[in-house]
Amino acid sequence: MSTITIYHNPKCGTSRNTLAMIRASGEEPEVIEYLKSPPGRAKLVELIAATGLSVREVLRKKGTPYEELGLDDPKWTDDELIDFMVEHPILMNRPIVVTPLGTVLSRPSEKVLDVLPNADKVGTFTKEDGEVVGKSGQSA
């Protein structure tokens, strides 16, 4: 079993780039298409905590029911926002990557390099949009 897990949306370029970087490091991660297999409330709470981000920082706005649900309203508690993410998994920003070195919301995709055990194997990487990045996470 892989020691790396990616919560992936194959329709998302950032998610595809992140997955390609993981594979370029020599790892074959466990790929969880979270729209087909949502993580569930307890796992979602665990993932958000592990990223060190706030619940609001993990909420995805673009291409989701965020606006129609009025989720920018400060009245919503973290628990309520998590309930919305469980009900509408598309609200979970992606990709979230779990490795032995940590958990990141890999946006931009090169953030995954910070937690990949063999990130040095990636070298420079060309994203789908042509941007080239290196281990430092800076554009090369």
Which residues 6+ apart lie within 8 Å of 84 measured at CB?
A: 69, 71, 76, 91
Cβ atoms of 92 and 60 closer than 8 Å: yes
Structural tokens at position 42: 């307890």
Q: What is the dihedral of CA 76, 85, 7, 103, to 10 degrees?
A: 20
Select which of 12, 22, 58, 104 is catalytic. Answer: 12
111 is catalytic: no
Three-class SS state of 92: strand
The residues annotated with a catalytic role in the active site are 12
